Structure 1
């Protein structure tokens, strides 16, 4: 007479064990830089969940050369390396689209580049682009990003917004993707065997899943934490002659927090 009760008890234990089981995607894999989450499916944004994103285009070829974020109607935050070597008349700003469709094109009026930017070491890799005409804000389609007031802690999860994250397909530049990443400590970000650059206190370092990460057209793009921009993509580490993006090595970002005063003084 107690057998049905016993079976019910065992079944309850089985259900609880299934409920508490950890999903496979929480497993970790090891690299020379520590642990990072195993590969996850790329999240495609649709239709406009990131209304602050800007594609900086070579004109008239309409080629995506780098990225920026809207921080005001007349100010686009980007990396100095994004616009280094380009004249204002050679570039355009494409806003209001995460896949290139129905975007609005703006001409560039002027740049504000950090006076101490070093294009060899990427220190002070920050700039503002000022369009000729103020960008028209459209609810849920075109609006400014929030800038973080504090830096994320080491080990915290952030994400990149990238037009061309795949090593296998680095030329797919018009479909915005969201890539999960992890904040890495600066001291262990750039061993000499990987890259000659030194990451200092004005930069952030992230560790990314192999095959996913920023490519050249993503320089100047945002590193996001809790819905706020904490960094600007500056460069990715390389090994020897392997200059491919998505190589599984860390990406270095200019810390937005360390330049809030410079940004404020150069807004239009």
Structure 2
């Protein structure tokens, strides 16, 4: 399998569905080149083609991650743009595996010469295709539902780097307990990325601010005065006293 075939298969499997034009932009080749490369991949069943788009045949990857990518899409795009506005060309960043972080990665394609470390194959695939970027994939064993790595190799890579900004996400925000996730590995990775960074951006859409419902059990590291919380809407009054002292940034939904 060629490098282009691997990149195409990885991108399509993690997104579920990608247009030929978008793949050509990501790989920085022509539409004709993409069509030539994917023709045998469609013929042997590795991919499916529908109305100018390529569709993953590995359905196990689609529901959890792609459903999260599509949920509250407009809000996540606005948050991503607000984050990208605060990242300069040449910056060094760590990015976690959240769906909002995936949109941040897409927005960061407008930046140049980034150094990126991530444990998300989806994010690595997006940013590695931008000329001038240096992208380090943390980990070797990927989870089958979101293409994320949490093995020992992933933590070793994060521990070895120093970055300016960590882009973190959460499963839920509680008014008194703060930012939370379901899995211990995700809490540990957030702590490792925060430790490696000078500052952190917590990216969460407004639906994550909830005082009720099924609460994740694990707390993320408390945010500090230099950190930012980037969301699409001002949280309800009960969230005014969130733990930590991070600045709140409301993304512009009209962009």
TM-score above 0.5: no
As a proportion of its length, which structure holds more strand?
1
TM-score by length of 2: 0.26
As a proportion of its length, which structure holds more helix?
2
Pick 1 or 2: higher relative contact order, CA cutoff 8 A, min separation 6. 1
Larger C-alpha radius of gyration, 1 or 2? 1
